[in-house]
Amino acid sequence: MHSVVIGGTRGLGREVVRLFAERGDRVSVVGRRPPGDADRGLPGVRFWAVDLTNAAELVSVLDEIVASGGPVNYVVLVQRFKGDGDKWVGEMATSVTATKAVIEGLADRFEPEQSNAIVVVSSVVGQFVADGQPVGYHVAKNALCQMARYYAVALGPRGIRVNAVLPGTFIKEESSAFYAGQIELQALFKKTIPLGRMATARDSANVIRFLCSPDASYVTGQEIFVDGGVSLLSQEALARKLAAL
Ligand SMILES: NC(=O)c1ccc[n+]([C@@H]2O[C@H](COP(=O)([O-])OP(=O)(O)OC[C@H]3O[C@@H](n4cnc5c(N)ncnc54)[C@H](OP(=O)(O)O)[C@@H]3O)[C@@H](O)[C@H]2O)c1
């Protein structure tokens, strides 16, 4: 199986790459900067450097990925805009426009008659408001959910499933030291999340691995929340938990 992970060099994307490598996929990883030392030389994994906001370079990297690794089976889009400049413009270019470019650039290059899937990584802020995050992040994440539905219908006849994963805040390697020191924050998550703990990047990576497998053969156009159940609570229920009423 040939899997392409866009934004696979850090955080959640790196966890996905590790899981795909473990199960023996050929993995094409895209990012601006190369992966860290621990992820260099993973069997079957090859890194491609490109800035997703450069449309022409992106097209040529996608061509090279298929020429080198063969037709694709799974495409996961995990990238997150981080940069200087206008956040709205950056979010739209990195999350929305680049996702469309990758999906449409690879749609004709899936391996026929095999398990084929695309996963876009949205966020709970695709549906809810987290006022610490900019409006562009919210709009981009919501757009990804609608793109998953749109492409699920458009690409379904070709056997390509398309789903969105919506994580809540998760601990990743880069943030583990920070959260380990946040005792009050940990206690807050424990109190409010039905599953009683914060998420890890691996929790979402496991869902992505499932969606990118024959086990999810009839699942398409769905939004899968990976938030420990916290979004199930009404505002009142949440307020009562916080106030210990
Ligand atoms: N962290 C959370 O708690 C959380 C919660 C909910 C949802 N999410 C979502 O989960 C996904 C992963 O989050 P994360 O925190 O793991 O992300 P991250 O650590 O910031 O990693 C982002 C990845 O995207 C790549 N990337 C970003 N801009 C790029 C560009 N212009 N061109 C090429 N590659 C680019 C980065 O590579 P470079 O470093 O080389 O640019 C990196 O590999 C994101 O979609 C995020 O919105 C995260």
pLDDT at 244 (0 to 100): 83
pLDDT at 245 (0 to 100): 77
Measure CA 139 to chain center. Answer: 16
Q: Quote the ligand 1 centre to 49 CA distance (angstroms).
A: 15
Ligand 1 pocket mutation pick from 9, 62, 80 by most atoms within 8 angstroms of CB: 80
**pLDDT, tens digit only, all 245 positions of the chain:** 999 999 999 999 999 999 999 999 999 999 999 999 999 989 999 999 999 999 999 999 999 999 999 999 999 999 999 988 999 999 999 999 999 999 999 999 999 999 999 999 999 999 999 999 999 999 999 999 999 999 999 999 999 999 999 999 999 999 999 999 999 999 999 999 999 999 999 999 999 999 999 999 999 999 999 999 999 999 999 999 989 87
Atom of ligand 1 nearest to the CA of 83: 28
- Kindly report the pTM of this predicted structure: 0.97
Beta strands 199-200 and 170-171 are: parallel
- Residue closest to 213 by CA, chosen among 5, 27, 20: 20
Q: Quote the ligand 1 centre to 130 CA distance (angstroms).
A: 18
Per-state percent for the chain, helix, strand, coil, to nearest 5: 50, 20, 30
pLDDT at 205 (0 to 100): 98
Question: Ligand 1, atom 38: nearest CA belongs to which residue?
Answer: 32
Atom of ligand 1 nearest to the CA of 169: 3
Helix (H) or strand (E) holding 119: strand 116-121
Q: Quote the ligand 1 centre to 102 CA distance (angstroms).
A: 16
Query: Could you count the other beta carbons within 10 Å of the beta carbon of residue 187?
Result: 10
Question: Ligand 1, atom 21: nearest CA belongs to which residue?
Answer: 10
Ligand 1 pocket mutation pick from 4, 5, 9, 12 by most atoms within 8 angstroms of CB: 12
pLDDT at 226 (0 to 100): 98
User: Ligand 1: residues within 6 Å at CB?
Assistant: 7-13, 31-33, 51-53, 78-82, 94, 121, 123, 167, 169-170, 172, 174
Q: Quote the ligand 1 centre to 10 CA distance (angstroms).
A: 7
pLDDT at 198 (0 to 100): 94
